[in-house]
Amino acid sequence: MEAGHLPALAAIERACFRAPWSEQALREELGKGIFLVAERAGAAVGYVGCQTVLDEGYITNVAVLPAARRQGVARALLRALTEQAARQELAFVTLEVRASNAPAIALYEGAGFRPAGVRRRFYTQPTEDAVLMTLWLGQEERGCVPLE
């Protein structure tokens, strides 16, 4: 993600979310974590944002323009994100998703994420639980915890 992407990403946010991030909020994420943009014919059609803390990744948003959905854009973004997270030696990547959002849950499960818990009343407009989903990238996924 670069500064030149910000107006288009703010428009994607408005098209996808009830409480979209502003262009300024997106600007504040520049250079932090892993933020990737999907482009088609030079125009942004989606993006994924992941804040990183030490060896942990927290996906903030996965957004794809409605006209570009069901074309593999989100799947490609998640694949690129998890590949970059693995190169950065993150232990895991995690996210929240509305409990009623079956298509998104299926997308994340297809990318290897597994349910890890529930955050009660996490979302508003309307109030709804979030399913916490995590993808382990290190030895922990095999039941091994490295001791140093």
Res 118: pLDDT:
96
Task: Please pick, among 13, 29, 47, 96, the residue that the annotation labels catalytic.
Answer: 96
- Distance from C-alpha of 71 to C-alpha of 112, rounded to nearest angstrom: 19
- Provide the Cα torsion 127, 63, 49, 134; round to 10°: 60
The sign one gets for the Cα dihedral 127, 113, 73, 85 is positive
Res 19: pLDDT:
85
Res 142: pLDDT:
47
Burial class (CB in 10 A: 0-12, 13-18, 19+), 124: exposed
Q: What is the DSSP letter of 13?
A: H
Active site residue 141: no
Task: Please pick, among 13, 29, 47, 108, the residue that the annotation labels catalytic.
Answer: 108
Active site residue 96: yes
In contact, 94 and 57? CB cutoff 8 Å = yes
Where are the extended beta strands (E) located within the chain?
34-40, 43-53, 56-64, 92-98, 114-123, 128-136
Peptide bond into 115 cis (omega under 30): no
Per-residue pLDDT of 64-122, as tens digits, reads: 999 999 999 999 999 999 999 999 999 999 999 999 999 999 999 999 999 999 999 99
Per-residue pLDDT of 73-86, as tens digits, reads: 999 999 999 999 99
Per-residue pLDDT of 10-45, as tens digits, reads: 999 999 988 899 999 999 988 889 999 999 999 999
Enter the pTM of the model: 0.87
Res 148: pLDDT:
58
In contact, 98 and 132? CB cutoff 8 Å = no
Q: Where are the alpha helices (DSSP H) in the chain?
A: 6-16, 23-27, 73-87, 102-110
Res 31: pLDDT:
84
